[in-house]
Structure 1
């Protein structure tokens, strides 16, 4: 009889078989889904792996993640958080292997191998599927176990049906490393087995190539030797992790298979071994059932040709047992893979189909996903989970899903349950009708024989536990919860193991009460009664004169303040600590208090009211350390400049936020009235009288004189300060410029010959205007007849006058020498032209007014004119005819 805990699974022989970890495959660029019982192609892979891969699904057959040894992709086919940069290699035959941490639903280890025996060796990374919203995260990465390693990696269940052995092969030796994975993690000290042939080190590392598999029952291990053209086979000790010789084989025996063996796999019943050889183009089978060396070697047969699309011969193709009991064959660069439909059979009966599974347009490469080989082992025994009376217990038979009995039935040994006492399903549940001892029998008819399995156990009655109704307490109070039952063990939600616990924290509390093998859980809720809501606010600092109202009002409550008063409100007018107790109808009391401090107000003094002259300003200064300012106009400087009469105020606020205001009245005194008039322009020789007279005033002019008047005689700026009897001063000023009268000179009176013309006048600068006696307004006038010629010239309003008398005479038969010329380039009187000068040998000398000779001509041609730079002036001439001795002397005026 088995007396077992009602919540514990009683057998562990087939811990993995009801899980569907192997139902999703990703390899090459392809994928397969086995959840329907047969492989269905998946075309959503984000991976392009040339050799080994690994993938894993959850207990329901849903994808968790997959990898090529360098990258991890989550179930959404995205790179997992921290999932890149792994130090495996996508061109390693068995690049990676996924191992769940025993006892955990979320932690997985990903083991990786480098290719060609390189230095990255065997490493592992940890994946936590509780991270990233259930998409997983690599939480530690590339932890080195040893280096160098060959490309071989496999795993199986420990003898205890709980822990897992991970086995690899050291590169360059004959040593195998077995690492144990337990609920405490990975034991980094490996079990080492030195057995069989040495993998030699070579320059290119090709001797590291090949695969290794453990049989589904964990009893044997097979290793392909790519360079040695052989397969080694050993026994495996699931307790110690050691590789041992098979009973009839020596440790050095290798099974010859042909050239370049690569992929290797055991049949589901552990009796057949399959190997791919000759660059993955041929499939070899061995029969291991005899355990005799010669018989095993003699059983070698080529059972299939593997046809590849590519003309390139790669090193080989992997083999992998599937959850449907068939073995699948990778086909490099092919959109199909091969399938061994009956791997337990011998020879041609295996029913190999070369293009057995269509990959939906995606491609296989050399590798297929690696799994823990125990996933494919079956115990052929009853497994069950027993519960206490009142809850259903669960029963199942651990056999391959492809085995189809002609009859199967459960008999629960519980006639009182009526028709529910039997079930014809492979897995069944039963709710026993009463506590007691029962024998459950499972019967199946298969392969023309009847198999019967029986187990006996006890269904116990659970203890009756009641923690009572919901407990409501005031916050801060406590309550004791108890569930005392004789001979019981207790486990509270708090971790306590006593019959009672005391708590003041609201929440839902439970206790598991165990009597014998049955446990009952009772639950009770502890909640807080409502408290009055009291918040007098944070401590405050007030300003002198402030009043603060405190309000503790709650509906249906009573109050008690620090002074014993019982109103809902309290009026604060002085510093101190104020405290109130508020009690509601349920008797729950809340206490709150507040500290009140009073701060001094600023002192503001702008001085007494002031009288100022209307044309002056005054600056009001309110400066004090640590203050801010606000004047009546909103300005915030510490000073304010007054320009108009009125009332002015400022508010000072100190660092505590306390404010005070001060003010001042500003009055204006009357000003004297002063007006010297507008700026005035005078002509040379004129004067202007300035008058600043105002009653009861004194005067100060720009030159220091103090008379009420001032006479202007020259150009300049003139000002006066007039101060009245109130001491108020007003200044006025005037600008008086002088204009220079135009300078005009028409020359001395002169006599011309009849028929001559004379141009008088000249163009003056500065916009001068002209008016001649005949009304003409040009600057020059051409004279052709005798008379008195008058010119008035105007510079703005300043006038100048001149006149000239011109006579004419008859000059026939003689010379006429002019006494004025105007060499200004206008073609009139421009040169010294002597009328009647017919001979060509007259000699002319011209002298300046200082007697310096400025011109000489021995044969004068009537063409002399002084340069413009010489300017207006008087010259003297000496005209001589050497032949006759005639001589003329006189003065000549030159006007430009």
Structure 2
């Protein structure tokens, strides 16, 4: 939260039940976060070609009554209630009635200057403002300033000073950062052709015209190419919202460009520690803005329809965001500016809407850039947007105290450690048991009495801050009070605590070794029966100052409870888990994968996941845990609904047998024990039983069957036997193919001219698709060309006696 405060800030913190409670009072506001809210005086924006938006209703809404026409820079000022006061392009100032403020013309700002205007409230005043005007880099006037008083012209404002010179020549950059007192301002400019920042202080004496000069970072050059001047004067300069960083975009808007990041000290106004990003993505660098949490920088360029998301910590580009344009009036993207709603808005020159980044703290594309987000009621943007003046959120200060043991017995030093406080402006007061210690006003204290100590600190740097240490430290003599505690979840393990003060403990006993003998709290294992441990605490400064005691640990340790296997995988919807009781473990409870708990030695598992059993011994009080990972793989659910199909196969179309769509399975269709298909649908044109088997990748199977039976009138078997074939190894007609219908079994015998059989084959099933029989060989040798007699015997269930067909086959080689 940001503070708009011109009074002192008082801070108190104290320790209560182990939790730090920080209360910061500033005009009734709580302060504890680095990020604040953009104040109401930034709710109205006027920019571009008569465009404007207001945030007074929450979401930005277009306003079309503005008179401003600026190619680039602009600034707008509202009051604490969000009511418009005035706006400017750096050359002219318009009042809230959208009329030119008397005399507020020719102020020196250029409409083609990146940051042509900056409005700064004087000492948080609501009626006096400094207006800075920045000329474009090709104009000699540089930066000038004027002063606006809202007490003039019946509250519409007027000038009390005009065209006061500040810096010439100058780049087109200017910004402001609040002083750490949230009252004064630092006005930051940059010279052209040098690497010099000029930092001016605006305080209760007005604008101090003698600047602090910091030569740091890159030179903003004046370049000449082909006789035409190009200057690295373009691009915005903006601070982070906590006032600790300063980012500068530098380009000549034609080619080249880079981003630089600096540290800023808002108490001294110092700029330091330059870091630079100069890559192809920064060509034409122009608009920039920090995310609300100051972890990211968003950079736009005048050379591409892209916005780059850059991580502050290492200047790495974390996302490239594409910007869609409707008119494509400009090749690039203009200014970026955070709004009162914490979103970042951007201008596209020549377009009649604003883009927005809805989640600017989110790294990557999840920041949600919307190209055409805020319509402008027919008005158009140009390159600029008004800059909002941020206050510096005050970080939560903290004071800790530490205790150090010096040489000798009970020789102790208390010292302080502060956070977010300037040690050069601190005063101290130590307290013992709630009473101030006389003369104890330094950052350290050597206590002379036992008791509870705390420290109160006051900082008088930029605000009057009072803090109390988060700790109250007890100072005691060298002492030891050992305890031995059985650890219930780990049978046979005992935690030994020395409860030592004033020195380092030294343990002896079973299980003590060099790695743990000096620990105040340690764990020993394999305790069985009664075991005695001794601990001695000796002052590190005085060996004669020590304390020594014994402690006894007694325990009879059962063996840990364990399952036989850590995993169980089954096919089905349930699995019974069993924890078998024994003499050590006689009570059980289960932790289910969904977080529920059930008691008992058995459990019916209905879901996948880890099942943890807690075994308890009512005899010893020990607890042991083990887990089983259960995987339940469901059986595939076949959808073979029809189990009897009566057909005559009257047409040539086969019947489709549908097993159903099943994920992650292998289909197997069988007939008479033989696999005849591996697809979801089996096309059949023959009678009989068909079985479908499916198997999932987990090995779970399901099967079903369907019978295709004939409802045709009885017909005798019919066969067709070719009268010639050519087994001459030319790849054609090499085998005698027999075609049949209605035959359930066939026997083919072929004889030579001497009546000797040279081939006999048997088919036990119908082969309407063709039965491949004789290949023209006898006893492995080709027979000769000539005529051969065949006999074909056929049977079916309607004609069990069968039919015999005879004929002659000619073999041609």
State TM-score, norm by structure 1: 0.39
Q: Which has the larger radius of gyration?
A: 1
Identify which of structures 1 and 2 has the higher relative contact order when contacts are C-alpha pairs closer than 8 Å and 6+ apart.
Answer: 2
